[in-house]
Amino acid sequence: MTVNLTLVLVAAVMFGCGIYLLLERSLSRVLVGVVLMGNGVNVLILQSGGAAGPAPIVSDAGGAETADPLPQALILTAIVITLGTTAFLLAMAYRSWQIDGHDDVQDDVEDAVIRRLAAADEASHGYEMDEHREEPDADEPVERGA
């Protein structure tokens, strides 16, 4: 198969810019990145279908080889799903702004707790719950008595 360098360039640039945005904290910026990457993926799939050609619509006259219809069907599905995802993320960003006054993606609180435990050289809460015994060691009564 022949590779179309223009489409390769476009897809790669959209990916790169999308990932740059994806690594941001602001959820709406992440969302813009997702949209950009979504388009990049679509161009990638399109390019994988081979060379450009007439639209894949069967004409009565017959004629030249058309563009590959399968990637197109896949992309069509992808476009609409991207719309659904975008809308959902947007609603999440909005909700986040409503509640917290910003739409930044927060660091996980549980992970922060574990980091504090690690810094303090302590065992996990589950360990403290189950392993740390209230009862004295099985042998201690005699040792105390003796």
Partner 1 sequence: MLPILAAHFLAAAVAPPLVGWFGRKVFLLLAVVPLASLTWLAAQGPAVVDGDRVEQDVPWVPSLGLEVALAMGPLQWVLALLVTGVGGLVLVYCAWYFHADEPGLTSFSGHFVAFAGAMLGLVLSADLLLLYVFWELTTVFSYLLIGHDPARRGSRAAGMQALVVTTLGGLAMLVGILLVGDAAGSFRVEDVLASPPTGGVAVTAAVLLLAGAVTKSAVVPFHFWLPGAMAAPTPVSAYLHAAAMVKAGIYLVALLSPAFADVAGWRETTLVLGTATMLVGGWRALRQVDIKLLLAYGTVSQLGFLTVVAGTGTRAAAFAALALLLAHALFKATLFLVVGIVDHTAGTRDLRALSGVGRKLPWVAVLACVAGASMAGLPPLLGFTAKESVLAALLDVAHTGDGTGVPAYLGWAVVAGVVAGSALTAAYTLRFLWGAFATKDGVEPSTVTPPGAAAVVPPAVFAALSLLLGFTGGPLTTLLDRHAASFPAGEHAPKLTLWHGVNTALLLTLLSLAVGLLAFAARALVEQVQARLTTPLSAERSYHWAVRGLDRAAVELTGRTQRGSVAIYLSVILLVIVVVPGAALVAALQDPVRWVRWDNVGQPLVAVVVVVAAVLTARARRRLKAVVLVGVAGYGTALLFLLQGAPDLALTQLLVETVTLVVFVLVLRRLPAYFTDRPLHWSRHVRAAIGLLAAVAVASFMLVTGAARTAVPVSDDFATEAVEYGGGKNIVNVTLVDIRAWDTMGELAVLVVAATGVASLIFIETRGMAIRRVREIPYPVSVRKQTTNKSRRVWLPAGRTLAPERRSIIFEVVTRLLFHAIIVLSVFLLFSGHNNPGGGFAAGLVTGLALLVRYLAGGRYELDEAAPVDAGVLIGTGLGVAALSGLAPLAFGGTVLQSAVVDLAVPLIGELHLVTSLFFDVGVYLVVVGLMLDLLRSLGSGIDRQILREERESRAAAPTGGGA
CB 74 within 8 A of CB 48: no
Shortest Å distance, C-beta 30 to partner 1: 9
Q: In this chain, which of 7, 61, 63, 100 binds partner 1, going by CB under 8 A?
A: 7
The residues in 59-88 that bind partner 1, with binding defined as CB under 8 A, are 59, 66-70, 72-77, 79-88
Shortest Å distance, C-beta 144 to partner 1: 10
145 binds partner 1 (CB under 8 A): yes
Find tokens 């640039």 and name the residue.
13
Contacting residues for 68 by C-beta, under 8 A, at least 6 apart: 49, 50, 56
**Segment (H or E) for 98:** helix 69-100
Question: 69-100 and 27-48 are packed helices; what angle lies between their axes, rounded to 10 degrees?
Answer: 180
100 binds partner 1 (CB under 8 A): no
123 binds partner 1 (CB under 8 A): yes
Shortest Å distance, C-beta 45 to partner 1: 10
Shortest Å distance, C-beta 56 to partner 1: 4
For residues 87-111, one letter each, b for 16 or more C-beta atoms within 10 angstroms of the residue's C-beta and e for the rest, the string is eebeeebeebeeeeeebbeeeeeee
Q: In this chain, which of 32, 61, 63, 100 binds partner 1, going by CB under 8 A?
A: 32
99 binds partner 1 (CB under 8 A): no
